[in-house]
Amino acid sequence: MIQQPKYVYPEPVKIENRRWPDRVITVPPVWASVDLRDGNQALPVPMNPKQKLEYFRMLCEIGFKEIEVSFPSASEDDFNFVRMLIEQDLIPDDVRISVLTQAREHLIKKTIESLKGLKGKAIAHCYVATSDLHSKFVLGDSREHITELAVQGTRLIRDGLKEAGLADRVSYEFSPEEFTDSDMDFVLDICCRVKQEWGPSTPETFILNLPATVERRPPYQYADMIELFCRKYPYMAETRISLHAHNDQGCAVAATEMALLAGATRVEGTIFGHGERTGNLDISVLALNMESRGIATGLSFKNMPEIVRIVERNSGIEVHPRHPYAGALAFTAFSGSHQDAIRKGMEKREEISAFFHQGWKVPYLHLDPADVGRQYERLIRINSQSGKGGVVYVLEHEFGIYPPKSMHPDIGIAVQNYIDAIGGEIDSAKLREIFYDTFVNIEGRYRMTDYHRTPGTGDTSGAAFDWHINNACHHLTGEGNGPLSAVVHALKNSGLMPFFKVEDFSERTLGTDADARAMAFVGLRCSQDGKKLIYGAGEDTNIDRAAIMAMVSAFNKAHALGVFGAQSK
């Protein structure tokens, strides 16, 4: 007995001079959600009518104009949901609902019955299995009988809609199930026979849905099959070609995008890819990919966090944190180099836009997180992989703390030491706490009390204060070109302090209202060999006091680190 290989490469599609690789998508497809049918049937606990209604309303708000709502003949719940939508007038005027049926008479009758009284538009969707694997080995059926079922089912739907007075309201969709696993000539023949039975149509009223029911081929072969079908099918002017890709090999988005290049103009899928096995095409990913390339899709995911909550609540399935666009970490960087690049890119957005002649281009962010309802301050999260750039970005954008650039390494080291000690990730509140504990209003050997400004000589400012070194108190006075300068001169002239030199000073208000506090940063050179700047920060309602407190913090840090040189004489 000859040993058969367990797996073989899918036989390439025989197509000459394929044109789809050279095309560019410039307009969106018609979007058709199958969340409430294909997606719902695959949930561990299918949605109840209340959950389906909330989901339906969410899909309408996103912008779907075609929504497959149920398989009315499959259960009373499915049938009753369609009736509720119609009887309670819950379908927006610009939305077409779709109902699915197999090509069997009693199921078709039940499906048409579910649509009675419809005020708007709808789609009756019928399918038969066309692959030999399914028809021969699952159903025990012949190609001839499968064709007969498809044609007869089409006739029953057409005549049934006429009898129900729905012919002008309900369009027709036909799916050769497992299209990508079927013989092309057979599929082409059965689709032509179905179209001939249905009669004259427009792309709006007659849809051929060509599904990759199980993803067995690489994405480009799906596109090849669609282009070949479109070349050979003689009724393209009267037909809309639709796609329905499953994600068994993780390529549904790529396969669908390539197949759109090949001639399809309609796409079926679900939000976040819910569906049997590994799911359906994720419409949110495909649509937002297109948005990021400048294609207005007609779908809005501006409230993505709320969409995630609704889907998770009703499906019982959590969205993965790294899910494209929707995941909690989709726009989050932990790597220090990534964080630094994002921070700089965000700061230079206008300059970058001018250089590249486009509105959005930021390192590591191909789409503006604000377009999906995300906030910039959550872009960067802090863990053991984070660097000073990400740490400072959070301080700046969440708390308005803008330390000088030469202070950034010290801040990064302080945070890194803390994370190394505890492990895991810290939130922004803990980051702020570490910053304050390490740099702001640091107590120690040195302390100032009873500070007040005094008249200076000419254009100078004066300062008088009590300077405490451990338990000894010294009353000092001095003059300089500002309050901080006056204090520095007083300390230097006192002979009480080791060598120091103020080499960096900056200050900024924390907020914009009248009661806003100020934060100042002081960098001291504390040894004559000039090896290291020691930074302190001070916060106060008075900006002069904040600057002086920052210097005191730097003195206490220098003493604690043992970097002061010999005491001045």
pLDDT, mean of residues 241-256: 98
Residue 376, pLDDT above cutoff 60: no
Residue 511 burial by Cβ neighbours in a 10 Å radius (0-12, 13-18, 19+): exposed
The pLDDT of residue 476: 94
The pLDDT of residue 281: 98
List CB contacts of 367: < 8 A, sequence separation 6 or more: 288, 291, 292, 325, 360
pLDDT band at 565 (very low <50, low <70, confident <90, very high): low
Separation CA 515–CA 528 (nearest Å): 40
Quote the mean pLDDT of the chain: 92
| Exposure on the CB side of residue 260, measured as CA atoms within 13 A | 22
Tell me: the pLDDT tens digits for 151-193?
Answer: 999 999 999 999 999 999 999 999 999 999 999 999 999 999 9
| Exposure on the CB side of residue 388, measured as CA atoms within 13 A | 13
The pLDDT of residue 343: 83
The pLDDT of residue 529: 58
For residue 319, the Cα-to-chain-centroid distance in whole angstroms is 11
pLDDT band at 515 (very low <50, low <70, confident <90, very high): low
Give phi and psi for 453, each to the nearest 5.
-80, 150
Separation CA 380–CA 121 (nearest Å): 46
Give phi and psi for 100, each to the nearest 5.
-105, 145
Same fold for the pair 28-315 and 446-561: no
Secondary structure, 3-state, 282-334: EHHHHHHHHHHCCCCCCCCCCCHHHHHHHHHHHHCCCCCCCCCCCCCCCCCEC
Q: What pairing do the DSSP bridges indicate for beta strands 266-269 and 30-33? A: parallel
Higher-pLDDT residue of 310, 396: 310
The pLDDT of residue 568: 42
Residue 567, pLDDT above cutoff 70: no
Tell me: the pLDDT tens digits for 138-152?
Answer: 888 899 999 999 999
pLDDT, mean of residues 460-486: 92
Q: What pairing do the DSSP bridges indicate for beta strands 66-70 and 266-269? A: unpaired
Phi-psi region of 524 (alpha: psi -120 to 50; beta: other; left: phi over 0): beta
pLDDT, mean of residues 201-215: 98
Separation CA 452–CA 556 (nearest Å): 21
pLDDT band at 13 (very low <50, low <70, confident <90, very high): very high
Give phi and psi for 349, each to the nearest 5.
-60, -45
Residue 442 in contact with residue 556, Cβ under 8 Å?
A: yes
Alpha helices per DSSP H over 70-179: 76-87, 105-114, 132-137, 143-163
pLDDT, mean of residues 390-415: 87
For residue 190, the Cα-to-chain-centroid distance in whole angstroms is 41
Percentage of the chain beyond pLDDT 90 is 74
Domain spans of the chain, in order of start: 28-315, 336-435, 446-561
Which position has the token pair 């007075």? 165
Residue 566, pLDDT above cutoff 70: no
- Model pTM? 0.76
pLDDT band at 384 (very low <50, low <70, confident <90, very high): low
Residue 106, pLDDT above cutoff 70: yes
CA dist 544 → 105, 156, 513 (Å): 87, 87, 18
The CATH superfamily of 28-315 is Aldolase class I (3.20.20.70)
pLDDT band at 271 (very low <50, low <70, confident <90, very high): very high
Residue 488, pLDDT above cutoff 60: yes
The pLDDT of residue 333: 78
Which stretch of 43-52, 369-378, 467-476, 542-551 has the lowest confidence by average pLDDT? 369-378
Q: Which residue pairs from 427-433 have beta carbons closer than 8 angstroms and sit at least 24 positions apart in sequence?
A: 427/382, 428/377, 428/382, 428/394, 428/398, 428/399, 431/382, 431/391, 431/394, 431/395, 432/395, 432/398, 432/399, 432/401
The pLDDT of residue 225: 98
Separation CA 193–CA 414 (nearest Å): 73
Residue 388, pLDDT above cutoff 90: no
Residue 510 in contact with residue 400, Cβ under 8 Å?
A: yes
Residue 256, pLDDT above cutoff 50: yes
Residue 458, pLDDT above cutoff 60: yes
Q: What is the CATH number of domain 446-561?
A: 3.30.160.270
pLDDT band at 347 (very low <50, low <70, confident <90, very high): confident
